[in-house]
A and B are shown apart, each in its own frame.
Chain A
């Protein structure tokens, strides 16, 4: 028995979301699921999985193939399924990342297992895993159980804490697969960076979003400057995306991204229900809006009523001063 965690690497770097998953796996074992915590990773070269001991892993099974440098659904599915066969886990954890969201359902279908995606709370009740996950983009949550083993879950990024352990090195065990690269009929031929150097909305610590009150795409530089000063990522309301001012990748809300940063600044966003659903799990929410009755103020920790065209530059300047002071 064990708890198995899929370890995600991109460009040879182990991603932070996998440390979050390992940390939660270690916590679940402490809460009563049978251990140990075992990782499984597919890569072209070892991304340094032996160092995951302190992240909570006792052992990492490593499948290597040159085709595994980038995400390859067929091979990665095979690797996780082989690891499940080997360690017979009670639960399998994935990060709810772009990769995890694609891979976990494939593995679940292969194993004929139940999968709960994008979970925000995991618990052990009566020796079994139960998962809580937002539905309707966060307007509600559901608690689910699993009817057969292994219980499979993916974890929403930025929700679970990495393990603050002092464990030694994880044991690294090669995982041999009868992998046929010809079996994969889809290949990643390129990866285009769209926001180089900036965290994705789903993984950002700080988000500054703009809404229709900015009046036009040419005014988004106000939001961008504030985001840059705060070291954050730019988001947008649905109205702004539908108007073509910003790409869909920037949209926060029910038909966009659900986010949980530590700071969310809503600039000139009134707060339609589908937007609030996507951001109300943020730790701290700031709203700047000229309408004092705007629904956004009902979820905001701090609000300023007034003209965003004056307030945002002043706020940007104040943050820059703070940064300059160190």
Chain B
């Protein structure tokens, strides 16, 4: 079975976010770039499916500038078979433009499952998965917490408020992974060596006219400094009084 995993290079979650000189995007100075954590769960699941079936191919795709190749290489080191780099001048800020570029590439590949993370931890838009479903006319299940495959069907659990939906779905399907789906592997030394020889297919991508336009980026106003009510159990009555009379939250 052919599986495609769409991956995104993002700033590490420990990054102290600063605004670039243009006032619109992240200042990239000093940022460590990583594979989007949710995409890692997606890739891990694809690899496990391939391993359990004993055959198949896992193709990773990423859209962006030349620097995304390091992240594609990481995915190859984890075990993906080959990579496709859809080259653009920089990151796409419009999820629909991203989804269109990915969908046109995926159509040519005709996989059974397209994986991605439920969202990228930079823009937090969580849009590309369902958009791919719509553009490909495939079902899409987002926030996938559990998956069982049998033949051309899958039973998927999707996290919702206060519970989980259990969804039966026919392949081909787009699946957007949540944390908790699995425990992603670390790339082995052997995997890292092997990745150097695996192909990254570079293709120029053209992004459609964006529907969204970034006007500005800002850092939130810091919270006013709070106060230490006291130390130990003795401070509890004062805390309760403050919560009730000053903050009025209990």
A-B interaction = yes
- The residue from B124, B128, B161, B179 contacting A135, defined by CB atoms under 8 A apart: B124
- Which positions in A face B, CB cutoff 8 Å? 70-71, 73-74, 77, 97-99, 101-106, 108-110, 112-118, 130, 133-148, 184-196, 198-200, 202-203, 206, 230, 241, 247-249, 251, 254-256, 258, 262-263, 273-274, 280-281, 283-286, 292, 297-307, 310-311, 314-315, 318-319, 322
Nearest-neighbor residue (CB-CB) of B24 within chain A: A142
Decide: A142 and B142 in contact? CB cutoff 8 A: no
Complexed CA–CA distance, A195 and B160 (Å):
11
Q: Which residues of chain B from 195 to 250 have a CB within 8 Å of any chain A CB?
A: 209-220, 223, 225-233, 235-237, 239-240, 242-244, 247, 249-250
How far is it, in angstroms, between the C-alpha of A281 and the C-alpha of B220 when the chains are bound?
Answer: 9
Binding site for A on B (CB under 8 A): 11, 13-17, 19, 24, 26, 37-38, 94-96, 99, 121-131, 133-135, 138-143, 145, 155, 157-170, 173, 178-180, 209-220, 223, 225-233, 235-237, 239-240, 242-244, 247, 249-250
Contact present for A248 and B239 (CB under 8 Å):
no
Residues of B within 8 A of A138 (CB): 220
Residue pair A105, B131 in contact (C-beta under 8 Å): yes
Report the separation of the CA atoms of residues A138 and B214 in the bound assembly, to the nearest whole angstrom.
16
Residue of A nearest to B161 (CB): A200
Count of CB-CB pairs between chains A and B under 8 Å: 291
Q: Are B236 and A114 in contact, with the CB atoms below 8 A?
A: no
| Contact A187 B168, beta carbon cutoff 8 Å | yes
What residues of chain B lie closer than 8 Å to A134, measured between beta carbons?
Answer: 124, 220
* Closest residue of B by beta carbon distance from A98: B160
A137 to B131, Cβ gap below 8 A? no
Is the CB–CB distance between A97 and B133 below 8 Å? no
Instruction: Give the complex CA separation of A310 and B230 in angstroms.
Output: 14
B228–A292 touching, CB < 8 Å: yes
- Known A191-B165, A255-B38, A298-B225; judge A186-B173 contact (CB<8 A): yes
Determine the residue in chain B with the shortest Cβ distance to A145.
Answer: B213
Question: Do B13 and A274 have beta carbons less than 8 Å apart?
Answer: yes
